[in-house]
Structure formats: structure tokens, C-alpha cells
Amino acid sequence: MAMAGADEILVLGGVQAVVAMAVGTQTIAPVDMLVGPGNMYVAEAKRQLYGRVGIDLFAGPTETLVIADDSADGEMCAVDLLGQAEHGPTSPAILLTTSEQLAHDTMAEIERQLKVLPTAAIAAVSWAEYGEVIVCDTQEEMLEKANELAFEHVQVLTRDPDYFLAHMTNYGALFLGPRTNVSFGDKVIGTNHTLPTNRNARYTGGLWVGKFLKTCTYQKVLTDEASALMGEYCSRLCHMENFAGHGEQANLRVRRYGTRAEVPWYQPVPALS
């Protein structure tokens, strides 16, 4: 962070960090925007503070979708599902496949791995409550279902992973082929990993530099004629909406900068004495 140019670095985390940065303390100045991932408590703290500060997006429990065909194996599918299910007891992990054999192999492998995984106490609850295996007839059906689910992490273990890169529209991040995985994205691969959950990928992507940019506009009417002409249109619209004060803003410009002495559809506000 220092090498990237951060001028203040706080070594803290959790809800207390979120509140301290949003509200401020005796030693921490309040900020304008909070971004980044966190557990369910951090997400709730950000939700409650939204408005007082800006945030990147509302993020729920992490979620993982593995898309696989018969070129994949049950061990890798199980590892990649449980590797994310250990995040917490409410983290969905779903296998989407065209191979019924792979579906059975993966479920059997998950049961085996849960007997030896050190975080099985968490992952087992998540798998039991939120895990799914969905068998589709075709690759196209898998694509349709994946776009409907709009998951945060989507791992593609198929013969042609680029098919999903070319056709998928609703996802937080894609991980293409067996050589990559969600854990790489979490820890080392370099791309941003604050991503939409809860089907929010239908309308937004993850955190990026644009989240830190503001769109500010300005207006300046350059001629008397333009101000008067726009004033006439504006005045009619205000009249239709029964906004007399708005209308008088327009009418004043019509009278002052145009050729009309008065605007027929409005009675002007009496001038101050």
C-alpha cells in the first residue's frame, strides 16, 4: 500500500474498523467512502453506514459456481466447492454439469473430503444448507442457468471454457480452466476481488477504479434568445406539473431575455417592493 502511494495506513479490521473510518475517532479522521470485502458483520456495518459514507456495493455471503462437463473430475470439483464453502456457514457452493456421473463422483468426493478437511465444521454446514448439484442436458442449458444464478465466483472446468467467457453476461468473476481457481483470485492472481453477490451481477460488476470517480455536470446558457426559448418550454412543463415556483424561474427569463412581456399560461409572482 505504501509503494502504491497510500498516505495513511491503519492496521485494523472488522466492524470496529468500518465504524472508526466512517464516523472517526480521536486519532482517525472520517472518510468519504468505504470499499472492500468482509464477513457478514462487516457487510451489515457497511449497509447501515451507506449514506453517511459511500460504499462500493452491498455484498452478502461469498458464493461459488463450478461449471463442469465430463472432462472434469470429482476430486477437483469437490476441492473447489469446499474451498469456498469454508468461508462461512451460509456460503452457497453449486456444481452445474452436463455429466450425471460427475455429479455423483463430486458428491461422493465431498463427503470423503469433509472427513479430513480442517475447516469441515463450517464447510459441512454450508454444503448441507446451501450446496447444490444441478445436471443439465446441454452446454447451452448450463449457460442459461449460470446467467440466471449470476454468481460471484464462476469456475469453468469444461473442454472449451472460452465459450462461457464469450457468452456469459451475469457473473462477478470468471476462472477459466482447471489451472486457475477462486483461491488464486482471492490471494495472488492480481485482479480485484470485491465482487457482487446475491444475483447483483445482473446489473453491476465488482469494485474498479470507476467507483472512485464522480460524475459532475455544469450548465451555462450563452445567449438571451436561448434562455428565453428554453424558458418557454420549461414554463409549459412546470404548468402541467403545477410547480408554480419552478415555472416562475422560467417565466422570469422569458420576460427578461425574450420578446414576450408576459407568459399567457402563468400569472407572474408579484415583484418585491
262 carries an active-site annotation? no
What lies within 8 Å, CB to CB, of 212 at 6+ separation is 33
Helix (H) or strand (E) holding 135: strand 132-135
State the Cα–Cα distance between residues 197 and 172, nearest whole angstrom: 8
Q: In what order do the strands lie in the sheet with 153-157?
A: 132-135, 93-97, 64-68, 153-157, 173-176
Which three cell numbers, joined as nine digits, stand for 130?
446451501
Which candidate in 63, 86, 109, 152 is catalytic? 152
Which candidate in 63, 87, 109, 153 is catalytic? 153
132 carries an active-site annotation? no
Given its phi and psi angles, is residue 14 left (phi above 0), alpha (psi -120 to 50 degrees) or beta? Answer: left
Alpha helices by DSSP H, listed for the chain, are 14-23, 40-49, 74-85, 100-114, 120-130, 139-149, 162-167, 182-187, 224-241, 244-257
Catalytic residues: 152-153
